[in-house]
Structure 1
Amino acid sequence: MRNFDIASILINIIALMIAIIPHEIAHGYVAYLCGDTTAKDDGRLSLNPLHHIDPIGLISMLVFRFGWAKAVPINPYRFKGNRKVASLLVSLAGVFTNFILGFISGIILVYLNYRSSFLVPLFTSIFWYNIMLGVFNLVPLPPLDGSKVLATLLPEDLEYKFYKNEKYFYFVLVIMIFSGVVDKFIAPIIESILKGIIYLGINLWNTILF
């Protein structure tokens, strides 16, 4: 039982690294492409976990199934061209990356199930964490990416007020998480996406393998 627990923890940590690190790099890299070198200068375009992982956030993710990484430093006033469009692209970059990784890992998971591979538990976790993080981050409350997407759609005066008061929304998010309100809304979405990808994977591999 002890070995199983240690193995499960290691699998979850590896899966989280694969979900969180590309998410953070995506934010920083898209910001860099849009003209803001802040994340690059801060060393955030790196695969080194120490540049991205917040220890408390990681433990919280393992225990409570929600957590956080180190915030990617972004300066939207350094963006070239339309600031709102660039902000939108940067905000969605991490989520998009999680969905891509979730889709790929889900397709691989179906194949591994056919082969009864020992890697099934790992890819199950990678699959789940990426889809979960992708959906969760679209919740339109700070500090999640969905709040920044919402902010870019607001007129500039309302956007300013939104960011000025965003710290108060942190408490709202925490209350909604622990009360189960967030889970009530996002759990069915996560489940639907997971099932959809598995369905596509089964049809794909049935076509290729049989």
Structure 2
Amino acid sequence: MNWDLLATYVARAVALLTAIPVHESAHAWASDKLGDPTAKRYGRLSLNPLRHFDFLGALCMIFVGFGWAKPVPIAAATNFRHPRRDMALSAAAGPASNLLLAFLCMIFYKLVYYLAPGTQGWIFVSAVLFQMVWTNITLAVFNLMPVPPLDGSRIATVFLPRGAYFGLMRYERYIMVGLFAVLMLGWLDTPLRVATNFVWNLLVSATGFIEAILRAVL
């Protein structure tokens, strides 16, 4: 059996139950704190995966490596005091939650790597944690791309003239189809891998205290 491949699929499935619900509920939480309770009223301020489930997005997440959930409803123009700024903050909350999860998974990965016995079961757990870190980083990096309808586009629009912002949003659906095609063709594989590796190395450094503690204790 290919344990690494199985670990990849298990990690992606676990990501559906953890990373994506946390990502979407982070959007809902941030928008609620900024004055828009729309997502909360629709039940999206929840870690229940079924609240955010999109069947096709879930399948793509497991078998392709990228996917999506149901969009979080936000009434920015009606409820935000500063619509563009607050929309950007709400958008940034999603990738930030994935980076936090990646940080926590990296801690557990290092603890298992250094402390767990080298049995097949623990090796598999270590592989799943490794993939969980990678999956969460990938989700964060992917969503931070400044391309509609990704979160990065909501953040980038803060720096665009108002007319350019609404002009870009008018073509959001077509841009999304183009983005999906580019992903399927693999044209973004290299830049996404470079960015993901960069964030991975940052997290390795940020969790360096684990090795320091283990050296002092063991």
- Segments of structure 1 that go 5 or more residues without pairing to the other structure are none
| Cα contact 2:12–2:61 (8 A) shared by 1 | no
What is residue 29 of structure 1 aligned with on the other side? Answer: 29
1:99-118 CA distance string (max 9 Å, x none):
11111211221111002362
User: Distance in 1 between the 2:80 and 2:71 partners?
Assistant: 22
- Counterparts of 1:170 and 1:145 in 2: how far apart (Å)? 12
Task: Give the Å deviation of 1:76.
Answer: 0.5
The residue correspondences of 1:51-200 to structure 2 (distance < 5 A) are 51-116=51-116, 118=122, 119-200=125-206
- Kindly indicate whether the alpha-carbon contact (under 8 Å) linking 1:79 and 1:86 is maintained by their aligned counterparts in 2: no
Contact 1:16 1:129 in 2 (8 A): no
Which ranges of structure 2 fall in alignment gaps of 5 or more residues? none
Q: 1:184 to 1:153 in 2, by over 3 A?
A: same
Percentage of matched positions with identical amino acids: 32
- Provide the rounded CA distance (Å) in 2 between the counterparts of 1:29 and 1:7: 31
Q: Structure 2 CA distance, aligned partners of 1:7 and 1:137?
A: 23
TM-score normalised by length of structure 1: 0.90
Corresponding residue SS for 2:149 = coil
- Between stretches 142-151 and 127-136, larger displacement belongs to 142-151
- On the 8 A contact 2:29/2:45 being kept in 1, the answer is yes
CA distance in structure 1 between the aligned counterparts of 2:34 and 2:4, rounded to whole angstroms: 45
The separation in 2 between residues aligned to 1:99 and 1:140, in whole angstroms, is 17
Aligned to 1:38: 38
- The superposition leaves residues 72-113 of structure 1 with CA deviations (integer Å, 9 ceiling, x where unpaired) of 111111334222210110110001111111112112211110
Map Cα deviations across residues 130-154 of structure 1 (whole Å, 9 max, x no partner). 1000000011112211111122321
1:3 shift after superposition: 9.6
1:204 to 188, 204, 209: 209
CA RMSD of aligned residues (A): 2.1
TM superposition shift of 1:196: 3.0
Distance across 2 between alignment mates of 1:197 and 1:109: 12
Distance in 2 (alpha carbons) for counterparts of 1:197 and 1:187: 15
Q: How many residues align?
A: 209
With 63-72 and 121-130 compared, the bigger mean Cα shift is at 121-130
> Hey, what's the Cα distance between the residues in 2 that align with 1:75 and 1:138?
21
